[in-house]
Amino acid sequence: MSPREHQPAQGRSGGPLRHGALAGQLLIAMPHMQDPNFAGSLILICAHSPDGAMGLVLNQPIPKLSFEALLRQIGVEPLPPQRSIRMVNGGPIEEGRGFVLHSADWQAEGSMAVTGDVALTASLDVLQAIASGGGPRQGLLALGYAGWGAGQLEQEIARNDWLHVAPDEDLLFVGPDETRWRRALAKLKVNPLLLSGVAGRA
């Protein structure tokens, strides 16, 4: 994601986006997105402020690493785990760092509320709880994250690089990753075929 010429970002209502307004929102990459890290991606924005934004890509699975293998690498027991959660490439920044996005029915010291129903935990406590058969009802483990500098995300939205929509549990945690982008568009009642070839404003 590269900085672009400044334009006031527009919300779906047509007014400028307030700083922080995108926290807890899902970003849907438009079909003309060229960056291979984000083409076809669905991203949950976990934090948004005047200083920038941080989010997790939700629909890029990690095919060559199992949850059990990861727990072995970082020394979390019991092994094999009593339950597991799916894992995704959360973004190109700090790809060795893990974040568990989960339902807010479980929290630890240091957990951060993303929405009223969803929290983010970066400590091993949540992985140990899941491996032991407990922990949050729903969850996913993201390795790495996506980040934007001050004003950068607003500029990208002004260029029509992203649509945004409120999340729900199904979009975050349920169903195959390959359908997640289309399901998010369907929530906006947008036909992806009608977006083909749509260019952002210069």
**Residue range 16-49, pLDDT digits in tens:** 455 568 999 999 999 999 899 999 999 999 999 9
Residue 118: the pLDDT is 98
| Statement: residue 155 has pLDDT above 60 | yes
Q: What's the pLDDT score for residue 20? A: 67
Quote the strand ranges of the chain, DSSP E: 26-29, 42-49, 52-57, 86-89, 93-103, 112-113, 118-121, 139-148, 162-165
Q: Class of the 1-202 domain?
A: alpha beta
Percent of the chain with pLDDT over 90: 82
65, two tokens: 């690493």
Integer Cα distance of 120 and 23 in angstroms: 12
The C-alpha atoms of residue 60 and residue 38 are separated, in whole angstroms, by 9
Q: Is the pLDDT of residue 124 over 50?
A: yes
Domains in the chain: boundaries: 1-202
**Res. 92: pLDDT tops 80:** yes
Average pLDDT estimate for 91-112: 96
Give this prediction's pTM. Answer: 0.87
| Percent above pLDDT 70 for the chain | 87
pLDDT of residue 12: 40
The dihedral built from the CA positions of residue 12, 55, 19 and 32, taken in this order, carries a sign that is negative
Q: Is the pLDDT of residue 2 over 60?
A: no
* Mean pLDDT to the nearest integer, 153-167: 95
Cβ contact 90:146 at 8 Å? yes
Would you state the pLDDT for residue 136? Answer: 98
Quote the pLDDT of residue 15: 39
Tell me, what's the pLDDT at 193?
A: 78
